[in-house]
Amino acid sequence: SDHGEMNGDYDRLYKYNFFQSSLMVPLIIRVPDCASTVSDELVEFIDIGPRILDLAGVPLSYPQCGGAEPNPFVFSEYEQETMVYDGRWKMVVNQQHQPYLLFDLRTDPHEQLNLAGGEEFRDKEQELLEEIRTFLVRTATISYTWEGENRA
């Protein structure tokens, strides 16, 4: 289900950002003959297919980025920016991989205090930046420049 717009949160009306109002989408899956549970587990859209197959007892027949196992980190990309979130810390980097947003959502759930660039949080920035680099390498796509007769 789509979660709608920002509706004024953070003085914004539309999505396309990395604030919690845009990221935290409820996910409901009904499994026949299974007891109801509630989980705060981090899930990405790419995980939904493998998780449903896992619930149905169907093995994955090919490797892919998503999976049925819980994620220690989730990632999101928009245009040339990337976000990493671990359930507590959220960091967003620009296209030069420079952190410009860093929030500790345990102490600042409304994302009011940007900690990016603070000396006190330099180690946390580096840790999350390494996770982003690993993610970008793991999910990299190859683009081609078509020349000659194959050119559109």
Higher pLDDT, 14 or 36: 36
User: Could you tell me the pTM of the whole model?
Assistant: 0.74
Calculate mean pLDDT across residues 7-22: 68
Calculate mean pLDDT across residues 68-87: 86
Domain residue ranges in the chain: 72-152
pLDDT at residue number 1: 45
Element (H, E) at 74: strand 74-78
Q: Are 1 and 26 in contact (CB under 8 A)?
A: yes
Quick count: other Cβ atoms within 10 Å of Cβ 74?
Answer: 20
| Phi and psi torsions of 119, nearest 5° | -55, -35
pLDDT, tens digit, 9 for 90 and up, residues 98-152: 889 999 999 999 999 999 999 999 999 999 999 999 988 887 765 555 566 655 5
Of all residues in the chain, the percent with pLDDT exceeding 90 is 31
Residue 67 in this model has a pLDDT that exceeds 90:
no
Contacts of 66 (CB under 8 A, 6+ apart): 44, 45, 46, 47, 48, 49, 50
CATH no., domain 72-152:
3.30.1120.10
